[in-house]
Structure 1
């Protein structure tokens, strides 16, 4: 068989590792297994959303409307922007991909904190550009001074994930404002707010406000997390008109399906009801953090729907133990693991499991026992 000519640089791109599926759990036995590895919303679709999607099923033989007129109009009203500023994508990850491909290519650099969203370096390399990861602070947050120092004449895009995935840490308004003001105005700054609905920090920056104030700022949002539409894939960017026009040129044609558009519209109409679910997940997050603190854990802050356990060399062993407890988490070998806030039973089981980590000494120094 002849050797196919493929891009040589693709060998340097690691495969994206999705959260392990429940069916793939090795020894679940009679114990119910909870997938808390992908930051999914544990609640099923609202009846009104499910009904809207079901009513659209008969039309899936037709292509979706590329302009997504109804959804775009609702987003414009929500954020007081023009249709020219809204660009849809198949989840915020595809929107971020558009932003990268519209701004950076061979010889260009894209800056981001690290560790942050796992797909960032993959998407940058796929665009032919060079990823420039900047290590997090000791508190697992963005090191904005180091990011400013890492800017070069080749920098084309800076990604700021707030709250940060997978650490859950956040930036304050003034520190982000100081940062953006120092970034050269020809470099695009993307504020990725995939988890913004879970962020209760009082001085948290608003991406849309930064978009209004700075001509080089874009915002990425998703319907996957708070809205519970991860399986339908719909996200959007709010961007300056020239940038938004460039995004459309690299966007996947018909990338947001008719069912996804319908579900997003129905979700926006049901935001009050969805907000109750977000409040419940935040309450669960605070309950789990309080209980973990009572066990002696000193975890990084989280303003997202997940917790970060920086366990270092104990990460893989800890993830294996949690799986024995019927919990599938997202481990990053040698660094830490991320556990989503999920059903109450799953959260209760997580507390039991991390107590077992304490007993086995697999805590990475995060546990401080009372004298």
Structure 2
């Protein structure tokens, strides 16, 4: 089932790219879902590189970034990334997976021409992975959803910055060629582009987590006297939170796009099962308890899609869209959790096996409700906005 918004501002170029991406993911990448190189810490780099080579050959590698460096609009990107998510391996194959997609967006917006050539260009070509070093261990009192708690420090020493601290849940750190590291100076938060591997950055361990779609898994990191040239700071000292928001608002939205695609596919699988499986003299779909769950899935999928396009439209106006991306992250992640749960329930015992991707999609969506900000943090942020807006209106 194809889910594309009927919107007169959706361009022909985006729909053409989206169609090619969908065909590639369904026909070429979906068969890889049984590949043994698809591990509990994500697809191996060997598998990822093999799939990227096929995407390059098919002309769908990094499809949201056009020749010459132009970027599709957020609205256009939605059409493409939703289709890429039709397999959990699709975003990796097409080079639109987290954290690389968000990091490419940030560098495209904010990096100098020299830093773009050094770091962004090989990422766009699918030759380099990246990691975003922001979250810190709770047992160190470090930054999680509250970045003001950041404990990692950076101090100037000659023409270098020296960084010390620990990070956690760093997706893709193992095997990455670029690290975007956040640290705190006397001026405030700072952001650095760091060549990886570096002996000053040590992977303590790669955690075993519920999700398994992203290469490199999620690592705990120690940073011990890392020296970074001043030229590799993004912007100026103290501007790190601004750059983080430039990245995070669109990144929340693109997460929603990819996982909507995955849930569309899971619902296709569950619907097929319900129409083929007989029970008590008729197909499962004819039992209201099952048929109604699939009907509710269609409603949640369509509402999630509309929220994504609504938020993308706002971001395309140039507004940072923090509140809108928070609303979308909450609404979409919660809706997709309901969809994934119903797919498992419809398929019964088959739904909890790895015979199909339904089981994996359920796990991935459960993690999605937490990363890029848990539902409760976004609700709290929106509640604070309600209070600010009320005060502003009543002080006028």
Same fold judged by TM-score > 0.5?
no
Higher helix share: 2
Which TM bucket (shorter chain)?
A: under 0.3
TM-score (norm 2): 0.25
TM-score (norm 1): 0.27
